């Protein structure tokens, strides 16, 4: 199947009071795994590439310093791969840019084949955020591509998205933001946090989602809400990583029951990145300890993992095999296939549990297969 925009998924999720997980990937193997597990559960899939994931995919091990040219190359690589894999399955798939920081970065993703984009103008003053988001909406909607904005500031760290403190989203301005920008969905700040250290006993301020949706209903505004920084950071994964020589201190996520309560309040898309990194890291740590063949074949990876026990972002320790990973190269040999299987199974463990928890199992046949051209026409009629 070909890729679809995010909008039909959001409409379905909002109407049926379920949420779709949106899963960050940094390499083609991970995208394959996300699609495979969604196919098993017959759930529509949202694959996310963050702005800096595109830089990594563009060949930058120091992805934090990636240029626009690196991001263009990376976006094209991942989009081409996802389109190719999508042809082998019957589920609808969305390829979404996470935390696009500038109009140019968003344009690069759309031109490469992304079917949905986030423009994160949350660090700008309100009027600047509105202006930037509106500009992106004009470019994206003309091509049938969906747009996510952000209002309010999330605390925590994720790639180059960092904030010491959070500012909750004001539900009174949500309608105004949707009306002025025309975006399809909005990431709100209501108590979630980027990264693996989210703090104990987090209580989400679900009343922010309720009030936002209620205001929108009164004003006749269509739109969905998105929950960023929502990894659950399962305790068993943290414990196992630490037992396998890792050093994760204070890693605590959003309690799953808090997320489940947020869904009927209007949250339709829940972003998951950290949980995938954790499950992959646990698998690889165990593999290097137990599998002498893998250890012998890839000694540099294990060295990097041991030198950085606190690190759970696979991009930092998979650098020695970065080229084949971003190129989607299939190498011969048992060690190579075992390593890839460890990565894939980690992704599937984290993603599969989110698909089940958030309620998207079996919805793939119910989501309309709208092409970007058809979506562009729908947007045009709305203006």
Q: Which of 81, 51, 43, 83 is nearest to 67 (CA)?
A: 51
Alpha carbon 192 to its chain's center: 15
- Spell out, one character per residue from 112 to 151, where the chain touches Zn ion: x when CB under 5 A holds, - when not: ----------------------------------------
Cα 69 from Cα 214, distance rounded (Å): 42
- Supply the minimum distance, in Å, between the C-beta of residue 229 and Zn ion: 6
- For 156, the 3-state DSSP assignment is strand
| Site size toward Zn ion, by CB under 5 A | 1
Q: Rounded CA gap, 279 and 246, in Å?
A: 13
**Between 66 and 152, whose beta carbon lies closer to Zn ion?**
152
- By CB under 5 A, tell whether 96 contacts Zn ion: no
Q: Smaller CB distance to Zn ion: residue 96 or 228?
A: 228
Least distance to Zn ion, CB of residue 192, Å: 9
Which residue is closest to Zn ion by CB? 228
Q: What angle do CA 106, 233, 30 make, to 5 degrees?
A: 50
Nearer to Zn ion, 48 or 281 (CB): 48
State in angstroms the smallest separation of the CB of 122 from Zn ion. Answer: 10
Q: Which is nearer to Zn ion, 123 or 306 (CB)?
A: 123
Shortest CB 271 distance to Zn ion, Å: 6
Residue 101 within binding range of Zn ion, rule CB under 5 A: no
The residues that are catalytic are 98
Structure tokens at 139: 């470019």
Of the candidates 148, 152, 147, which has an alpha carbon nearest to the alpha carbon of residue 124?
152
**Could you tell me the smallest distance in angstroms from the CB atom of residue 99 to Zn ion?**
6
Q: Which one-letter DSSP state was computed for residue 79?
A: H
- Yes or no: say if 18 and 107 are a contact pair by the CB < 8 Å rule: no
By beta-carbon proximity to Zn ion, the closer residue of 138 and 163 is: 163
Cβ 104 vs Cβ 16: under 8 Å: no
Token pair, residue 38, equals: 């969604």
Footprint on residues 211-240 left by Zn ion (CB under 5 A): 228
Cα radius of gyration rounded to whole Å, the chain = 20
Q: Decide: is 7 part of the binding site for Zn ion (CB under 5 A).
A: no
For Zn ion, the binding residues (CB under 5 A) are 228
């Amino acid at each position: 199947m070909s890729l679809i925009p995010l909008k039909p998924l959001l409409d379905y999720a909002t109407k049926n009071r379920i949420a779709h997980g949106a899963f960050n990937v940094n390499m083609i193997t991970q995208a394959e795994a996300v699609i495979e597990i969604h196919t098993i559960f017959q759930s529509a899939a949202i694959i996310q590439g963050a702005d800096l994931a595109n830089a990594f995919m563009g060949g930058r091990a120091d992805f934090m310093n990636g240029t626009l040219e690196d991001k263009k190359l990376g976006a094209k690589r991942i989009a081409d791969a996802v389109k190719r894999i999508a042809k082998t399955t019957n589920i609808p798939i969305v390829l979404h840019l996470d935390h696009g920081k500038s109009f140019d970065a968003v344009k690069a993703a759309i031109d490469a084949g992304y079917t949905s984009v986030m423009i994160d103008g949350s660090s700008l003053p309100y009027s600047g955020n509105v202006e930037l988001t509106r500009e992106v909406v004009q470019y994206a909607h003309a091509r049938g591509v969906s747009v996510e904005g952000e209002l309010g500031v999330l605390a925590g760290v994720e790639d180059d998205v960092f904030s010491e403190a959070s500012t909750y989203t004001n539900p009174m301005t949500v309608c105004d933001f949707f009306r002025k920008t025309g975006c399809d969905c909005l990431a709100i700040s209501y108590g979630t946090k980027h990264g693996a250290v989210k703090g104990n006993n987090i209580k989400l301020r679900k009343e922010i989602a309720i009030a936002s949706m209620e205001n929108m209903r009164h004003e006749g505004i269509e739109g969905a809400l998105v929950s960023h920084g929502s990894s659950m950071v399962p305790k068993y994964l943290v414990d196992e990583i630490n037992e396998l020589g890792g050093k994760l201190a204070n890693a605590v996520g959003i309690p799953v029951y808090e997320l489940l309560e947020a869904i009927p309040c209007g949250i339709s898309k829940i972003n998951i990145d950290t949980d995938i990194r954790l499950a992959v890291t646990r698998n690889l740590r165990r593999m290097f300890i137990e599998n002498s063949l893998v250890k012998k074949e890839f000694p540099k990876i294990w060295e990097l993992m041991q030198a950085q026990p606190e690190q759970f972002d696979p991009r930092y320790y998979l650098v020695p095999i970065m080229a084949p990973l971003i190129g989607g190269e299939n190498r011969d040999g048992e060690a190579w296939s075992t390593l890839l299987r460890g990565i894939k199974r980690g992704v599937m463990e984290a993603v599969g549990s989110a698909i089940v928890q958030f309620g998207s199992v079996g919805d793939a046949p119910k989501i309309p297969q709208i092409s970007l051209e058809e979506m562009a026409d729908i947007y045009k009629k709305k203006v």
